[in-house]
Chains A and B, each alone.
Chain A
Amino acid sequence: MIGAVAVLLSSCRLPYLGMYRGATTQGHDTFKLWTGSLLAAMLVGIVVLSLVLWAIFRFRKRSEELPRQFRYNIPVEIIYTAVPVIIVCLLFYFTVNTENEVDAVKADPGVALKVTAFQWGWRFQYTGTGVTVVDTAVDWPNSYPAAVLPVDESIGITLVSADVVHGFYLRRIDFSRYAQPGVVNRFDLNFRHEGTYHGQCTDFCGLYHSEMLFKFKVVSQSAFASWLAAQEHSHEHLQSIANKRYAVGRRSLVGTTTGSSK
């Protein structure tokens, strides 16, 4: 089993097993770890389930005779204590390796993006360019803010919150991180493919939590460069759409605390 895990961790084409393959290099590492861990868990599960089912079938009551009244079996007990220890140590080893890959942060990323979560929307600032994309979800779920980013480039994200705890989460990148007041989180994403990635707030943050959506549009590096240049030339960086419903959330942008979520 352990061998199987090792083989699977090193192979390239892995089955989905429900989880996305990870659109970033970091997410792909997580996906490989997930696959190995899940297969190990399934193997253990099948073995244990078989034992349970076999026991209830084989040892169902067939006579009034009392079975043998044994209480201990030291060798067996040692085995089923030691084997799980070995399994979790192996899982831990792979976990630490993957964790180091996922959490590795470049000192000078290709694009530095500051992400601010607020009730209830996102602000994306391209550090050093003056370009800001900010919006709250308006026409849920059809229109929401989109940050444009280059493919095959390290994107250094600085994640903060303007008010309460939010969860930064993108589908298909197999990664999330809290945006918290008082905490600045740094992580890198390297997108492997172009495409549009749907993101949303995963940590409950009040009334319109479920509408706090955003998008990452990952484009070629040249397309990204021209987009950024166009944005810098435009005076109006801020795509803000006044919407009464979100007026409360908008206020939090400028630092005042928001009103009731009631």
Chain B
Amino acid sequence: MSRTFSKGGIHPNDSKISENAAIEQFPLPETGYVSMAQHLGAPAEPVVSPGDTVKVGQLLGKPSGFISAAVHSPFSGTVKSVEPYADLAGNKVMTVVIEVNGDEWLDTIDRTDTIVREIPYSSSEIVARIAECGIVGLGGATFPTNVKLSPPPGKKAEYLIINGAECEPFLTSDYRLMLEMPEQLLVGTRIMMKALGLEKAYIGIEDNKPAAISKLGEFRDQYRDIEIVPLKKKYPQGGEKQLIKAVTGREVPSMALPIDVGAVVQNVGTAVAVYEAVQKNKPLFEGIVTITGRCLPQQHNFRLRAGTMISSILEAVGGIPDECMKIISGGPMMGKAVSNLSAATLKGTSSLLLMTEKETKRTEESNCIRCGKCVSACPMGLEPYLLNKLGRRGMTDELEQEHVYDCIECGCCSYTCPANIPLLDVIRNSKAAVMKIMRSRPKK
């Protein structure tokens, strides 16, 4: 029996139309745009100047705080400029622009396919290596991985869970990784187990990916310490709190972190990046990006350097089809609509999804019929209909009492609402307003 989380959730059509597209190397662009803010936390500080020549893997920006990450060059060539450049949403972010010339990697990076299984490093060496290589969580939040692997004093990790749920419709990059780089994933998992001092780890995979489950199962005898946990297909299975609940039965309390219940969750892509960083000396500067959509003639899973302009990716797959009305970075449930096609991809970019007007059009909202479907769908046990009502009236005190800050913004409420009320739009704004008020209070 596949496990799952108990509260709420929805079953959208999984639309994994790109699942059979093997990973292809995406050609190098002529110019690379490497953002200094590719992670959660403080942006990196540029350490190169215009005119410098750089190699693939060379440090471009150093971390500028405790929660920050290093940025390395995905390209070889000459630094053209270091200037603010508009990102996916149009916000200007400090960016190193590189005139790409050839593909010359640092000699220190092991580019062979040989799998290095021995892990001769200590916990602190592993964490330092991961920090140096600028590894961030590739499940969406891009939280610096070294921070997550260093539990604060007094907190002890008991469970390492690798997130292979990939519960968002359309996305297949994690699936392809599990199929094509299974052993790298398993060694990466072991490295993180060693960093956390754990004897056992779990890889949670939704049961709509039987090929991935059986592929990893082939290594069962060599990796007895890593358990593959099949999960029932249900969105948002890959939500951190939902995944912990499904695998361990523990619930992360409101306002608490996974480590408070002894859990550390890392994405499949992160585990492979950790393997490459620790065993192959390769910093994080490329990743698997799904290019998909029903309006595209062909589906792709590319290995793509961070810093590639979105418009050049779309040109390479034949341009934007006429019927495409929306381009989403990420999945259809939580991804962000792209408003700037000159923006470049980041370390954490997992997909570009092209949708037609029919697939993504919002229908006009009508009266709430109090059907309670949003209440049943909410995986956090909140009452979206009520938060919507309070939110539209700006009642921040009541919103706080109703725990609006627990919302994980999964979108189940909006998806399920028969009256097409944009519940999450309202709740997201209310949550931001309430959190701002909460942060402004003096700490006890």
The answer to whether A binds B is: no
